[in-house]
């Protein structure tokens, strides 16, 4: 513990992001970082408490306690306080394959469980992680680590989201020969096509994939397993398969007019926006641009917030976000004590942008759409909004409002069925691939699964943790003494 009195001397200082009026003019990343000396003081706030929960990596009643990757947070903070940034990065990399992703987009489960956070504001753990990535990049320390031993076993990883990337990286480091199959034209899963560029620059994902290729991982893109690549050939050519296909089945809007032109799943819209940005000459589908439109986003969560921010950058006339549940409480409820993740009202970057641009929070709680109204060409022209109580519409609260784009951000129903049905894999009650608790082997020998496909829609940090652990289990299976 670098400075025993640090938490008494220094208050929390958050990074000041790019000013809203500047950043909404482009799709560049909005994160900024505190100055090095400020971050060093912030690291000194860590108390190295005897029972630190920040790295516990537990899940209780569906709520997280601490970092799923079990990052060695107090040690890292201590090293940062001492100015040993390179050692701190190495310490971080012991448990964490890709700090460059979570330093930007993790909701910081660790901070929800920081002991200092019980009485004061928690340590800025995520910003310190972001800083260490930037420092390592500037110092030229993000270099391929070429494995020195090869076991001779071949593993196919299906899906290149964070779970697939973490799994492939770890298997490769353990000596297996790994090929990643990805149906999209670029690797990264939702890191590439889902999470908007202003939150995670696509160059950061490409840089990691480039390093992994130099380390020996092969990527087959535009290769949908079960469609372009027969499963039978993978099962015979590879010693093991790890399925990391995500939970990509979006929940759709089951109301009259829910299929009109101008109603789209959030990920389709966000993918379209990213492609316009990174694919030269890509025009996209005109009906999926928010420019000049009144945009309604159904779903008040993080994906909806990404849609708010994207629509603002595209020049929407207005942006409204409907959430059917009541507004969350401002401070922890009695049944949500520290160190559980706090279920409290939060305002995210897109919502702050909407407040600045339109003068009010875009969210309307206990409200949703009862009908989408179309014009003669079958295009959206209005929504009929209603107030809801306990998920039931309240009679007499109908209000028809002009709309040009309706985006559905109501969560995901689970993994797609193609691979699961073809392999006849056992699934849990929610339709996710079933494995024993804390394990990754599926009901089919030599087939493993990790990430959203196994645990349901979750977070990047959980996907990374699962990918690494599945790699360990797969490696153990292949290399068990006979
Ligand atoms: C809009 C949005 C924003 C989000 N923002 C955040 C955030 O800020 N922070 C955070 O922590 N989490 C965020 N999440 C959640 C996070 O992105 C996911 O939990 C995470 O990406 C899951 O990783 P995964 O590897 O399991 O699956 P995915 O990232 O979904 O990757 C699955 C991959 O498998 C591929 N695939 C599927 N089937 C096949 C097949 N048969 N053959 C070949 N390839 C196949 C898919 O094309 C895809 O690339 C967000 C989610 C969304 C939708
Ligand atoms: S990965 Fe996320 S939860 Fe883990 S230490 Fe980093 S910011 Fe915290």
**Mind listing the pLDDT tens digit for each residue in 310-336?**
999 999 999 999 999 999 999 999 999
For the chain, the domain total comes to 3
CATH number at residue 231: 3.50.50.60
Strand ranges, E, within 40-130: 58-60, 63-65
Q: How many Å lie between the centroid of ligand 2 and the Cα of residue 109? A: 6
| DSSP state at residue 118 | G
Mutate to test the pocket of ligand 1, among 460, 464, 465 (most ligand atoms within 8 A of CB): 460
C-alpha atoms less than 13 angstroms from C-alpha of 255 in its C-beta half-sphere: 17
| Among candidate residues 410, 444, 463, the one where a domain is terminated | 410
| Least confident stretch, 36-40, 117-121, 196-200, 319-323 | 117-121
- Reported as a pLDDT band with limits 50, 70 and 90, residue 371 is very high
Q: Which atom of ligand 1 is nearest to the CA of 462?
A: 19
Which pLDDT belongs to residue 118?
86
DSSP three-state, residue 268: helix
Its pTM surpasses 0.95: yes
**Mind listing the pLDDT tens digit for each residue in 107-122?**
999 999 999 988 899 9
| Among candidate residues 391, 410, 429, the one where a domain is terminated | 410
- Ligand 1 in contact with 306 (CB < 6 A)? yes
Average pLDDT for the chain: 95
Residues 188 and 281 in one domain: no
| DSSP state at residue 441 | B
- Reported as a pLDDT band with limits 50, 70 and 90, residue 194 is very high
Q: How many CB atoms lie within 10 A of CB 417?
A: 12
Q: Do the domain assignments include residue 284?
A: yes
Residue closest to 430 by CA, chosen among 301, 247, 267, 300 = 247
Residues 193 and 112 in one domain: no
| Among candidate residues 410, 428, 459, the one where a domain is terminated | 410
* Share above pLDDT 90 across residues of the chain, in percent, rounded to a whole number: 90
Q: Which atom of ligand 2 is nearest to the CA of 106?
A: 2
| CB-CB contact of 201 with 28 (8 Å) | yes
Which pLDDT belongs to residue 407?
98
Residues 162 and 264 in one domain: no
Tokens 């949908």 found at? 224
β-bridge mates for residue 399, sequence order: 385
Q: How many Å lie between the centroid of ligand 1 and the Cα of residue 7? A: 37
């Amino acid at each position: 513990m670098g400075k025993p009195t640090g938490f008494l001397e220094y208050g929390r200082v958050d990074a000041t992001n790019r000013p809203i009026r500047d950043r909404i003019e482009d799709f560049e990343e909005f994160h900024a970082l505190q100055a090095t000396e400020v971050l060093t003081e912030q690291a000194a706030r860590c108390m190295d408490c005897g029972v630190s929960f920040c790295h516990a990596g537990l899940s209780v009643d569906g709520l997280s306690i601490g970092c799923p990757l079990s990052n060695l947070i107090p040690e890292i903070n201590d090293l940062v306080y001492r100015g040993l940034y390179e050692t701190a990065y190495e310490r971080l990399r012991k448990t964490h394959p890709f700090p460059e992703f979570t330093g930007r987009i993790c909701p910081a489960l660790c901070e929800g469980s920081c002991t200092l956070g019980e009485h004061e504001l928690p340590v800025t753990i995520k910003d310190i992680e972001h800083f260490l990535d930037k420092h390592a990049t500037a110092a030229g320390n993000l270099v391929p680590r070429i494995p020195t031993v090869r076991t001779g076993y071949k593993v196919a990883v299906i899906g290149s989201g964070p779970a697939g990337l973490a799994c492939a990286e770890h298997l490769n480091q353990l000596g297996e020969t790994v090929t990643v199959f990805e149906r999209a034209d670029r690797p990264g899963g939702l890191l590439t096509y889902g999470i908007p560029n202003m939150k995670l620059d696509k160059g950061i994902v490409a840089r990691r994939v480039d390093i992994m290729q130099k380390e020996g991982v092969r990527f087959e893109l535009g290769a949908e397993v079960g469609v372009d690549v027969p499963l039978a050939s993978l099962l015979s050519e590879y010693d093991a398969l790890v399925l990391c296909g995500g939970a990509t089945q979006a929940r759709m809007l089951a109301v009259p007019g829910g299929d009109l032109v101008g109603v789209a799943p959030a990920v389709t819209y966000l993918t379209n926006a990213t492609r316009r940005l990174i694919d030269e000459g890509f025009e996209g589908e005109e009906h999926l641009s928010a420019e000049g439109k009144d945009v309604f986003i159904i779903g008040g969560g993080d994906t909806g917030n990404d849609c708010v921010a994207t629509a603002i950058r595209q020049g929407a006339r207005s942006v409204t976000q409907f959430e059917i549940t009541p507004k969350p409480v401002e401070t922890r409820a009695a049944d949500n004590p520290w160190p559980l993740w706090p279920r409290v009202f939060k305002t995210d970057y897109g919502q702050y942008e909407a407040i600045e641009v339109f003068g009010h929070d875009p969210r309307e709680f206990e409200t949703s759409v009862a009908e989408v109204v179309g014009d003669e060409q079958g295009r959206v022209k209005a929504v009929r909004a209603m107030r809801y109580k306990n998920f039931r519409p309240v009679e007499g609260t109908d209000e028809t409002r002009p709309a040009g784009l309706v985006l559905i951000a109501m969560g995901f129903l689970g993994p797609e069925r193609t691979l699961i049905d073809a392999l006849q894999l056992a699934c849990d009650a929610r339709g996710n691939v079933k494995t024993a608790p804390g394990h990754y082997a599926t009901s089919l020998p030599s087939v493993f699964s990790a990430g959203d496909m196994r645990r349901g829609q979750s977070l990047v940090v959980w996907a990374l943790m699962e990918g690494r652990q599945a790699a360990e289990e797969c490696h153990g299976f292949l290399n068990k003494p006979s």
